[in-house]
Structures are given as structure tokens and as C-alpha cells.
Amino acid sequence: MKQPHSELSLLWHVFAMGQRVKELLGTAMADSPLSADEYAVYSVLFDDGPTPPTGLARRLGMPPTTMSHYVRAMLDRGHAERQPSARDGRSFSLALTDSGLAIHRATAAHFNEANDRFRAALEIDEAFLVGALGEIGRAADEAATQMTAQHARAAG
């Protein structure tokens, strides 16, 4: 039974939307060489070129520990290589190798089918949605930063 004066929050709707998108990509990419998450990481390197792991994590909204799992897998598969940083000898950037580019290209066919169907089903301006999603991501980052600081103050 619905509770009186109950309304689901914007954050709930964003969560539910994420679940639907995850389902769409899972279906589309079930037989692809890379998972949807892996394809997202490879795509940043494909689009942006060599990127430090911390930059990948930030760009994808992933914790650095999660990104380190993807980095290790890419290196172990020979899909990426380390490129030393010119500014800091301890850090490095990742770049896709020829085999990484090939696996990205093979996976793109699966992703692109889902993306094309998704875009065709949209009934609202795509550029507006991209801007709105950027704002949702920014607001989530700000709220998380505020909560982390509040928890640190309470614990300290």
C-alpha cells in the first residue's frame, strides 16, 4: 500500500534509470568480447588517448581501487601498455595497444547497436540530456564530498 504523501526522490529515479541502462547494455553486450564496464574504460583511452589510471577513475566516476582491477586486467591481456609520465617518474599513463584497439573495435559493434536503438527511442533532445546528466554527476560528486567531510568531522 502506498504511503500517504510519498514521492520517490530524484535520486531514486536516477538509480532506477541506471539499472535499466545496465540491463540494456548487458543484453546488447552479452556475446561481446568486453563487458559494458570494460568497454567504458577502453573507450576513454580510445577517445582521450593515454590517460593516468587516476584520470580514468575520475572520468568514469569509479573508485581508484576498482579502476586498478581494470588496469591490471588490460595490462595482463596485452590490451594496454604503461607510458611513463614525463613530469613524475613514479606515475604512468595507459594507452591501448593494437590488440586493445582491435578488441575495442570488435566490442563497439555490440555497443553501437544498443546505442542506436536507445537514441532512436529517445523522445527528448539528446544534447539537453547530456547536459542534465553532467549536472547530476556534478551534484552527486558535491554531495558525496560534503558527506565525506561531515563524517570525518564527526569521527574526529
- Per-residue pLDDT, 74: 97
Q: Do 45 and 107 reside in the same domain of the chain?
A: yes
Q: Could you tell me which of 82, 84, 83, 78 has the C-alpha nearest to residue 100?
A: 78
Give the range of the structural domain holding residue 103, as residue numbers without chain letter: 32-121
In this structure, what C-alpha cell is assigned to residue 23? 540491463
Task: Give the containing element (helix H, strand E) for 156.
Answer: none
Strand partners, 96: 80
Written as one letter, the residue type at 146 is Q
Length of the chain: 156
- Per-residue pLDDT, 126: 95
Q: Do 116 and 131 reside in the same domain of the chain?
A: no
Q: Could you tell me which of 83, 94, 91 has the C-alpha nearest to residue 56?
A: 94
Name residue, grid cell 568486453. 34
- Per-residue pLDDT, 120: 96
pTM score, whole prediction: 0.85
Q: Do 148 and 97 reside in the same domain of the chain?
A: no
Stronger pLDDT, 7 or 17, i.e. the higher one: 17
Q: Based on the structure, what is the number of domains in the chain?
A: 2
Q: Do 36 and 88 reside in the same domain of the chain?
A: yes
**What tens digit of pLDDT does each residue of 130-146 get?**
999 999 999 999 999 99
- Per-residue pLDDT, 59: 93
**What tens digit of pLDDT does each residue of 31-90 get?**
999 999 999 999 999 999 999 999 999 999 999 999 999 999 999 999 999 998 777 767
**How does DSSP classify residue 51?**
B
Average pLDDT rounded to a whole number, residues 113-117: 96
Q: Residue 3 above 90 pLDDT? A: no
- Per-residue pLDDT, 24: 97
Average pLDDT rounded to a whole number, residues 99-118: 97
> What CATH number is attached to the domain comprising 71?
1.10.10.10
Averaged confidence pLDDT in the chain? 93
Report how far Cα 153 is from the mean position of its chain's Cα atoms.
30
Percentage of residues of the chain with pLDDT beyond 90: 86
The verdict on residue 20 lying in a domain is: no
Quickly list DSSP for 57-116. HHHHT--HHHHHHHHHHHHHHTSEEEEE-SS-TT-EEEEE-HHHHHHHHHHHHHHHHHHH
First to last CA, the chain: 42
